[in-house]
Chain A
Amino acid sequence: MTKKKIILGVAVWMLACSALAQKYSVHRKDRVFLGVYGGVNYSLPDATEKHAVLVSDPQSADGLSEKDYNKLFENGSHQFGMYFLYCMSKRFSLVFQPAYYTQRFKYQTAYSWRDTVNYMDFSRELHHDQKIAYFSLPLLVRWDMSLRQVSPYIQLGVYTDFRHRASKSISYDATIDGELNEDQLNSTSSAMATDHFNKFNVGLVGGLGISYFSKYFVIGIESNFRYGLLPVVNERNRYSDQTGFTAQYLDVLDQLKLSNLNFQMKVLFPIDNLRELNILRRSKY
Chain B
Amino acid sequence: MKTAMKRYIQQVFFIGAILVFAGCKKDDFQPEESFVKIYNDSEGNKKYVPLGIQQTADQGYVMLSAYDGWNIHVMKTDKVGEVVWRKTLPSNYVNATNLVKHGGSYYVVCMDNVGLFTYLLQIDETSGTINEIQNFSGIIYPTYAYSNGTTIYIQNYDRLSYKTGIHQLDPSLTSVAQSGEVNIMTSVEDRIVDHITYDGKRIPFFVSSTPENDYVVMSCFYNYSFSLVFLNSNLQFSGVYNGANFNGGVNAILPKGNSQYAVARFSYDNQYFNANASLNPTSVDIAESISASGYSELNPDKPVVVRSLSIGGVFYVVMAASTRSNQLLLSFFDPYSGALKGTKYVGQNTPYSIGDFTKTEDGGLMLLVQAKVMGSYDRIATVKLSDEQLAELLE
Contacts and interface: CB of A to CB of B under 8 A. Distances in A.
Contact of A200 (B19, B347, B374): B19
Contact of B29 (A118, A201, A235): A235
Contacts of B347: 241, 247
Contacts of B23: 160, 200-202, 230
Interface residues of B, number: 46
Main secondary structure of the interface of A (DSSP, over half): loop
Interface string A259-274: 0000000000000100
A56 B40 contact: yes
Nearest to B388: A236
B184 to A, nearest CB: 36
Contacts of B373: 54, 247, 250
A250 B38 contact: yes
A199 to B, nearest CB: 8
A248 B350 contact: yes
Contact of B12 (A54, A65, A117, A139): A139
Interface in A91-133: 94, 96, 111-118, 120-122, 124
A61 interface: yes
A118 B45 contact: yes
Nearest to B12: A139
B75 to A, nearest CB: 10
A200 B19 CA distance: 9
B349 A111 contact: no
A178 interface: no
Given A202-B23, A239-B34, A57 B41 contact: yes
A241 B20 contact: no
A236 B44 contact: no
B44 A202 contact: no
B191 to A, nearest CB: 27
Interface residues of A, number: 49
B43 A59 contact: yes
A230 B42 contact: no
A141 B306 CA distance: 63
Interface string A196-238: 0000111000000000000000000000000000100001101
B24 interface: yes
Contact of B44 (A32, A94, A114, A137): A114
A69 B376 CA distance: 27
A121 B2 CA distance: 73
Interface in B5-57: 5, 9, 12-13, 16, 19-20, 22-24, 27, 29, 31, 33-45
Contacts of A117: 45
Contact of A30 (B1, B22, B34, B35): B1
Nearest to A157: B16
A202 B24 contact: yes
Nearest to B75: A55
Contact of A238 (B1, B34, B388): B34
A120 B22 contact: no
Contact of A114 (B42, B82, B350, B384): B42
A160 B15 CA distance: 11
Nearest to B36: A239
A31 to B, nearest CB: 10
B165 interface: no
A117 B350 CA distance: 25
A130 to B, nearest CB: 18
* Listed residue (A30, A58, A236) with the most chain B CB atoms within 10 angstroms of its CB: A236
A169 interface: no
B224 interface: no
B45 A57 contact: no
Nearest to B349: A248
Contacts of B374: 111, 113, 122, 124, 250
Interface string A56-95: 1111110001000000000000000000001000000010
B352 interface: yes
Nearest to B35: A239
A158 interface: yes
Contacts of B5: 32, 86
Contacts of B43: 59, 113-116
Contacts of A114: 42-44
A55 B379 CA distance: 11
A241 B352 CA distance: 14
Interface string A144-185: 000000000000001010000000000000000000000000
Contact of B42 (A61, A201, A235): A61
A243 to B, nearest CB: 9
B38 A54 contact: yes
Contacts of B352: 247
Interface in A41-62: 53-61
B20 A160 contact: yes
B81 interface: yes
A246 interface: yes
A258 interface: no
A253 interface: no
B35 to A, nearest CB: 5
A75 to B, nearest CB: 23
A-B residue pairs, 4 tightest by C-beta: A115-B44, A247-B350, A113-B44, A200-B23
25 contacts: A32-B5, A53-B38, A54-B38, A57-B86, A59-B42, A60-B41, A61-B42, A96-B12, A114-B43, A115-B45, A118-B45, A120-B44, A139-B13, A160-B16, A160-B23, A202-B23, A236-B27, A236-B33, A239-B34, A244-B349, A247-B38, A247-B349, A247-B371, A247-B373, A252-B36
Given A246-B36, A247-B349, 19 more contacts: A32-B5, A53-B36, A53-B37, A113-B44, A113-B377, A114-B42, A118-B45, A122-B376, A158-B20, A160-B19, A236-B27, A238-B34, A239-B383, A241-B347, A245-B349, A247-B350, A247-B381, A252-B36, A272-B1
